[in-house]
Structure 1
Amino acid sequence: MSKRVILNLPKHRNPEPNRTASAPYNFVPLPEIVVTAVNSADELPDHDRYHHNKYTGYFDVTLTTRSPLYIRCPFTLEEFLRQEQGEDERRYTSFRQQAKNTPHFFYTRDPGQPVIPGSSLRGMLRSLLEIVSYGKVQWVTEKQLFFRTVDNTAVGQYYRSRMTGKIEAGFLRRTARGYVIKVCQIARVHRDRLNGRLYIGQGPNQTPRWNGEPPHQWARVWVTLSNNGKFVKELSYTERSGWQEGVLVITGDVPRKKKEFVFLWPDVNSEEIHVPEKLLERFHDDDQITQWQERAFPKDEPDKNCRERNGMLRKNPPDPGDPVFFLREDGKLTFLGRAQMFRLPYVNSPLMLVPEELRRPEDIDYAEALFGFARTREELEDMKRRRVIQKIPKQGDKKRAYASRVFVTDAVLVEDQTDIWLSDRPVVPKILASPKPTAFQHYLVQPSSEKSELKHYDSKTPEETVIRGHKRYWLQGERTVEDIIETNEVSNNSTQHTQFKLIKPGVRFKFRIYFENLSKRELGAICWVLHPLGDPVKEYCHQLGMGKHLGMGAVKLEATLYLTDRNMRYSSLFDGDNWQTGISGSGQALSDRATLEQLTRDFEKHVLDVLNPNKPCTHLYELKRIAMLLKMMEWPGYPPVPDGPRFLVHENRPNTRYMRIQRENEYRHRPVLPDPSAFGCLTGDAEPTPSVTSSESSLNLEEGKEVILEPHASAEWRKQIEKWLQN
């Protein structure tokens, strides 16, 4: 067993009912350690032979839909070519005309014969395997998220500490050396000096005017300034001798706002700051360009086709350039924006809130051992830098890439089923805006739910917080058309709605999972994933396809295992009048609990041996983390109460609806999302315990032992641990 660390991660604390958030999703916590399937890639079996001590065969699986199911069908070749040639551009085609060609459920030949693609089934099984086998956590974005808030929470204080009194201004322009910001002076101007209407539209959707008589966005102005140079005393839209020339900059309208900005033309010798290309790419990221920016900075303003698309900076702005605000920290350009209090990127990305011990490329978990992997160049270089490998492995080396030993077929309809559709016509589902990972009170572990103590992406990690874990959606029982369809009127040019051709509950599909050269533990892992081993009196369902937030996609799997005798398979061509397949007997039904426990025993024992729980356990469902996973897989689950409160007192559980913004902004006070234990009793509460406890007084570490690393351990202690691990 290799030297690895059992982490003592921060614990999430469920909030009081008045501080409880509601959502149709929740999280299975991070694993405390990665359980590896093999000690090194060299132990993985070769693909050019069958191994006598390994298992080969297949599962026959019947899938039954429990709630409406939809997997979108891609464009046909003809539709794709029309799109590529610009014949189906959105501005020429109404919503209904676009959507009517793509509501079909996935199919291969006949639209009336839906097929569940094997890739979707494979993804469903692999994601579940990563959780239950304590696999690596690596599918997390490396992009820094953006935030802007001045509230009285910890993140509001953090934002103000980085921004207040530190914002500078300048003009962004393109040079032969790339983009630069030429620093300039700015002054505030009272709106009553501008003499005119500044905005078009109504309420929060109004945007600055671009044309007509001034005042308008980026209008040229001449001004005189107050003694301290911070305010405009006089302003003219025509040139005045001796007055300073500038550009009027109108930022967003907010209540009680009384001033706008004037950017004064920079001097010839003004400082120029180089703008890295990556920073401009981040500025143009979809996470940064809001819908308001798209409306406020259209593609054809102030000049026709001056931007690649709405909301972007101009492609080649004439002098003096695009007026921007910017922030420098430690002498380095951090970011820029169009308002003085612009959206700021966190220093940390979400991936950085996953401890490195849970995402090391050299660790091969069960998911990678079974479904394969391919190391990126960055991962290989990282392994070389840390001396895990001496040199970059050649093509074909198992340290570099490994092919799957599990193969999933498409699922096809079981014969003699006719009434399979939920509705004769495609339906338009509800559009519910989902909180993004920027909602840190949902996506990060919160040891306290008090507003002033909430942790954000730049909080200390892993001492104070980490990401919540694996996101999954609650099952919501049987869903009807009325539960799914949009009840509000949908305009023909809507870009946020789509159409679904839904399969109704109770429809059966069948598919196979072939496998080769699996160890007994690996075979047991697949069996557990197909038939989750939990409370014997409860039923568990998987999730598949689109619309999970609406309760769609719940499916029940029933699998039968068939093992192949390779000697029998190849000793003769025929078995009587049939082909010799090497299969004998009627197979092992995983629905039989005794059979399932026997098949999964070695897998469960391996995981439990590594974790060494703090109380006796014989099954994974006795672990609190796995019990939370099973809670989210329980059928019929927890339907939302659309008009109910965030916490349902009569059911003693949180709601599973999205929180509202209209009428009452339920996000305003940043309520905290509880973990799945808030929905009732779990099947277990055991947690891992270390076999060696951290102590700064000594290092008594033996080969093969696990180590706990306390979040509050000193830097010197961490260095000793890291040095020992490397040696």
Structure 2
Amino acid sequence: MDLNRKKNILKDNFEFFDLPKENSAPRPMFYIELGGRFYFGYTPRLRLMYDYSILDGVRQKDVDEKFTDFTDALFGYARNQFAHKSKVYFTDAVLVNKKSCNEKGESRVVLAEPKPTSYLEYLKQSPSGKTKTYMDDDFEIRGIKQYWLQEKVQTGMEASNDNIKSQLRPVEIGSQFEGTIRFQNLTKEELGLLIWSIRLEENSQMNIGKAKAYGYGRIKVKDVKISLQDMDRSYRICDDIFSVNPYKDLSVEESDEFVEIYQQYLAKWLKPDKKESEPAKDIVMANSSIKSFFHMKSNVVGKDVASYMSLDQFKEFKQSNAGLPTVGMICKKQ
């Protein structure tokens, strides 16, 4: 199956890498015995297994295996013999102004990205220390993958092979969409997280869709209206009729209260000895992962910061063994 996925790459060499057929000509095989493992294949440059998996590099608090995090609680899960259905439902976002897909702007670009085995990009590196790989027992994942908000859309990388290109039909700048998120049975903390993840902070933006690495998909979410079902309206009969609108719209202040409830919960988890006088949001925003997230959602950068490396730049980067700059390092230069 893996071989079939690589047909476009192997092309005329496909049969060479396929299993040998009866009475076929002999082919050289290469093997390596290393670390109690036996590797073999048709190339002397065999891919070797790492001693540790990606998850071994995720550093977080030890939690009970039965613990349900917010992601599972909101979006549901199915694993082993246990399952939990989603509490949130997303409608399509519909174009509401006169903008449209830009037919003339249709293009084909290369959407390349590093793979997790690229340890200089995916693992934390010390500028003065030994380069960390998945063979080291103390390696650590850098964090979550995000894309910088960019000032302008960049031109895609050139490539003669159309098979590695993706087709884009971007909507025009200024397009406005409107959609709905329905939810049920959320706790106050879960609702607070949902509201905060949509609104973010006042100066925050998001990027969605394809080609984010080229600057496409930068959006701003605004005019968020939140309504909760009023159970009294739903089941009380007024003047012998049921209410046709059993929902109550929340004010901005009421919505903020739910966000604060979530932040209080998170602050106590991040800092169990938190004092009542300490602002929960200060503790939350001081967390390195959350701080980096909001840095990237509130800083719009230029091509000098966010762009694909040329092959020469990539070779130089690999030889340096220095790793990529952190979010904080880049923000200090802005």
Shift of 1:471: 0.7
Name the structure where strand makes up a greater proportion of residues.
1
Q: Match of 2:267? A: 608
Q: Which amino acid aligns with 2:86?
A: S
CA distance in structure 2 between the aligned counterparts of 1:662 and 1:426, rounded to whole angstroms: 30
Larger relative contact order (C-alpha < 8 A, sep ≥ 6)?
Answer: 1
Structure 1 pair 564–433 and aligned structure 2 pair: CA distance change class (3 A) = closer
Q: Match of 2:23? A: 318
Structure 1 pair 640–360 and aligned structure 2 pair: CA distance change class (3 A) = farther
Q: Cα deviation per residue 1:102-160 (whole Å; 9 max; x = unaligned)?
A: xxxxxxxxxxxxxxxxxxxxxxxxxxxxxxxxxxxxxxxxxxxxxxxxxxxxxxxxxxx
Q: Match of 2:177? A: 509
Shift of 1:412: 1.0
CA distance in structure 2 between the aligned counterparts of 1:502 and 1:337, rounded to whole angstroms: 43
Secondary structure of residue in 1 paired with 2:318: coil
Shift of 1:664: 7.4
Q: Match of 1:458? A: 135
CA distance in structure 1 between the aligned counterparts of 2:239 and 2:167, rounded to whole angstroms: 50
Structure 1 pair 343–566 and aligned structure 2 pair: CA distance change class (3 A) = same
Q: 1:298 aligns with which of 13, 16, 29?
A: 13
Tell me whether 1:633 sits opposite 2:300 in the alignment.
no
Q: Match of 2:127? A: 449
Q: Cα deviation per residue 1:298-338 (whole Å; 9 max; x = unaligned)?
A: 13xxxxxxx3xxx62334353774321111236x5531133
Structure 1 pair 572–323 and aligned structure 2 pair: CA distance change class (3 A) = farther
Q: 2:78 aligns with which of 352, 374, 388?
A: 374
> Quick check: which has more Rg, 1 or 2?
1
Q: Cα deviation per residue 1:169-227 (whole Å; 9 max; x = unaligned)?
A: xxxxxxxxxxxxxxxxxxxxxxxxxxxxxxxxxxxxxxxxxxxxxxxxxxxxxxxxxxx
Tell me whether 1:567 sits opposite 2:232 in the alignment.
yes
Indicate conservation of the 8 Å contact 2:111/2:165, yes or no. no
Q: Which amino acid aligns with 1:499?
A: Q
Q: Which amino acid aligns with 1:425?
A: K
Q: Which amino acid aligns with 1:436?
A: K
Q: Which amino acid aligns with 2:21?
A: N
CA distance in structure 1 between the aligned counterparts of 2:233 and 2:119, rounded to whole angstroms: 57
Structure 1 pair 599–609 and aligned structure 2 pair: CA distance change class (3 A) = same
Structure 1 pair 661–610 and aligned structure 2 pair: CA distance change class (3 A) = same
Q: 2:322 aligns with which of 662, 671, 677?
A: 671
Structure 1 pair 573–500 and aligned structure 2 pair: CA distance change class (3 A) = farther
CA distance in structure 2 between the aligned counterparts of 1:290 and 1:420, rounded to whole angstroms: 34
Shift of 1:572: 3.5
Q: Structure 2: where are the runs of 5+ without partners? A: none
Secondary structure of residue in 1 paired with 2:28: strand
Q: Which amino acid aligns with 2:127?
A: S
Secondary structure of residue in 2 paired with 1:632: helix
TM-score norm. by structure 1 comes to: 0.41
Indicate conservation of the 8 Å contact 1:659/1:666, yes or no. no
User: What are the equivalent positions in structure 2 for 1:93-492 lying under 5 Å apart?
Assistant: 284=3, 291=9, 294=10, 298-299=13-14, 307=15, 312-316=17-21, 318=23, 321-329=26-34, 333-354=37-58, 361-375=65-79, 377=80, 400-414=82-96, 417-421=97-101, 423-431=102-110, 433-446=112-125, 448-450=126-128, 453-460=130-137, 464-479=138-153, 483-484=154-155, 488=158
Q: Match of 1:48? A: none
Secondary structure of residue in 2 paired with 1:322: coil
CA distance in structure 1 between the aligned counterparts of 2:76 and 2:112, rounded to whole angstroms: 35
Shift of 1:510: 0.9
Structure 1 pair 544–671 and aligned structure 2 pair: CA distance change class (3 A) = same
CA distance in structure 2 between the aligned counterparts of 1:316 and 1:356, rounded to whole angstroms: 50
Shift of 1:679: 2.4
Q: Match of 1:200? A: none
Secondary structure of residue in 1 paired with 2:44: coil
Secondary structure of residue in 1 paired with 2:52: coil
Q: Match of 1:32? A: none
Shift of 1:513: 1.1
Indicate conservation of the 8 Å contact 2:111/2:166, yes or no. no
CA distance in structure 1 between the aligned counterparts of 2:92 and 2:191, rounded to whole angstroms: 21
CA distance in structure 2 between the aligned counterparts of 1:327 and 1:290, rounded to whole angstroms: 28
Structure 1 pair 574–607 and aligned structure 2 pair: CA distance change class (3 A) = farther
Name the structure where helix makes up a greater proportion of residues.
2
Secondary structure of residue in 1 paired with 2:317: coil
Counting matched residue pairs gives: 326
Shift of 1:574: 8.8
**RMSD of Structure 2 on Structure 1 (CA):** 3.3
Q: Cα deviation per residue 1:631-652 (whole Å; 9 max; x = unaligned)?
A: 11115x11213xxxxxxxxxxx
**Which aligned segments of 4 or more residues in structure 1 are displaced greater than 4 angstroms?**
284-287, 355-361, 573-576, 613-617
Shift of 1:613: 7.4
Q: Cα deviation per residue 1:557-578 (whole Å; 9 max; x = unaligned)?
A: 12111111123113239998x9
CA distance in structure 1 between the aligned counterparts of 2:318 and 2:259, rounded to whole angstroms: 46
CA distance in structure 1 between the aligned counterparts of 2:59 and 2:205, rounded to whole angstroms: 30
TM-score norm. by structure 2 comes to: 0.84
Q: Which amino acid aligns with 2:18?
A: L
Q: Structure 1: where are the runs of 5+ without partners? A: 1-280, 300-306, 378-392, 394-399, 642-654, 682-727
Shift of 1:485: 5.2
Tell me whether 1:656 sits opposite 2:306 in the alignment.
yes
Q: Cα deviation per residue 1:553-603 (whole Å; 9 max; x = unaligned)?
A: 122112111111123113239998x9622124x5424xxxx5553221111
Secondary structure of residue in 2 paired with 1:495: helix
Indicate conservation of the 8 Å contact 1:325/1:337, yes or no. yes
Secondary structure of residue in 2 paired with 1:401: strand
Q: Which amino acid aligns with 2:257?
A: Q
Q: Which amino acid aligns with 1:562?
A: S
Secondary structure of residue in 2 paired with 1:407: strand
Q: Which amino acid aligns with 1:431?
A: V
CA distance in structure 2 between the aligned counterparts of 1:364 and 1:407, rounded to whole angstroms: 19
- Overall identity of the aligned pairs, in %: 24
CA distance in structure 2 between the aligned counterparts of 1:317 and 1:356, rounded to whole angstroms: 53
CA distance in structure 1 between the aligned counterparts of 2:144 and 2:163, rounded to whole angstroms: 29
CA distance in structure 2 between the aligned counterparts of 1:286 and 1:345, rounded to whole angstroms: 21
